[in-house]
Amino acid sequence: MKNPRMTPERASEAASLLQEYLGVRLDPVIADLKHAMTLDNLASQAVDQQSHVSAKPVLTGSVELVNDGVRQVAEGVEAESTVTMSYVEQARQRVEQAVNEELEKYGRAA
Amino acid sequence: MAALPNLSLPGLPSVTSVLPKLLPRNPDQRRIDAYRQLLRREAKMGGQLFGEIPNGHRREFFCLDEHTWVWHEEWIDAHGQHRAVTTHYVVRPNGVLKTRGDGNHQPVVGEELRNLYNAAKLYRQNVEAQLASLQA
């Protein structure tokens, strides 16, 4: 049912405001949210990948879990896995660093 | 316009508070008022995006500007005290910060970030539907 107080002029003005709200406010912030989520997914994948690499030696029974980290006890496996983990760790740290720098910038501005 | 003297009498509203209601507003002021009404309406709609609102709670969620989403919730606790929490989500391309007025900024990550994104998309869909109905 139509709102009796909604004259064509008012409807037109409301539509104009909504259009502005969509284009000026919602679209940019949703695009930024999407980008932030993509970065977060990449960071998660880097961590997952690291877990996968860490888990590989577990299958051979050559490592044991210590708290939430992995302590490697087998020689040979340790050297190979350290190189791979180092690469993944670097990727993860780069993403974290980019996010932290942005957060610090905001913190200083606030 | 020169400032008006305060001619209020005890128990009556002041002239300066009544005049804006009597005199026609200029187009800019009218537009600002309309925008505020729009935001209030969107805030109410946004509060309903997260499922059922608990009895006695008032929840609002809206896009304040191109960087900020606001979640506001009010309720009466078990001791009859009025409670209110306002959370700002500050969105940057490289990350989202959550602040609750105590000066602490926390990064929003993982599931919370995905929920925020999905809520923002749903919110946009609803605003777009309103726009379509007005233009129909």
Whether A29 is in a domain gets the answer no
Inter-chain residue contact B134 with A21, CB threshold 8 Å = no
Inter-chain residue contact B131 with A19, CB threshold 8 Å = yes
pLDDT in tens, chain A (110 residues): 456 667 888 888 888 989 999 999 999 999 999 999 999 988 887 766 665 544 444 333 333 333 334 333 334 444 444 445 555 666 667 777 777 777 777 666 55
Residue A97's pLDDT is what?
Answer: 76
Hey, is the C-beta of B95 within 8 angstroms of any chain A C-beta? yes
Whether A103 is in a domain gets the answer yes
SS3 B72: strand
Whether A13 is in a domain gets the answer no
- Which of B91, B95, B121 faces A99 most closely, judged by CB atoms? B95
Q: Which residues of B touch A94 (CB under 8 A)?
A: none
Choice between A84 and B84, residue whose per-residue pLDDT is larger: B84
Are the C-beta atoms of residues A92 and A47 closer than 8 Å to each other?
A: yes
Residue A79's pLDDT is what?
Answer: 47
Residue B67's pLDDT is what?
Answer: 93
Whether A65 is in a domain gets the answer yes
Tens digit of each residue's pLDDT (9 = 90 or more) over B42-80? 999 999 998 888 888 999 999 999 999 999 999 998 899
Tens digit of each residue's pLDDT (9 = 90 or more) over B100-134? 877 788 999 999 999 999 999 999 999 999 888 88
Secondary structure element (H or E) that encloses residue B73, with its range: strand B68-76
ipTM of the complex: 0.75
Least confident of A16-20, A64-68, B17-21, B30-34: A64-68
Residue A2's pLDDT is what?
Answer: 54
Choice between B20 and A105, residue whose per-residue pLDDT is larger: A105
Hey, is the C-beta of B96 within 8 angstroms of any chain A C-beta? yes
Are the C-beta atoms of residues B54 and B46 closer than 8 Å to each other?
A: no
Are the C-beta atoms of residues B128 and A19 closer than 8 Å to each other?
A: no
Measuring CA to CA, which residue among B78, B85, B98 is closest to residue B58? B85
Domain of A73 in residue numbering reads as 36-109
Residue B26's pLDDT is what?
Answer: 81
Whether A27 is in a domain gets the answer no
Q: How far apart are CA B67 and CA A17, in angstroms?
A: 18
pTM for the full predicted model: 0.63
Per the structure, the count of domains in chain A is: 1
Choice between B15 and A89, residue whose per-residue pLDDT is larger: A89
Measuring CA to CA, which residue among B121, B128, B115 is closest to residue B50? B115
- Which of A11, A21, A35 faces B93 most closely, judged by CB atoms? A35
Residue B97's pLDDT is what?
Answer: 93
Choice between A72 and B87, residue whose per-residue pLDDT is larger: B87
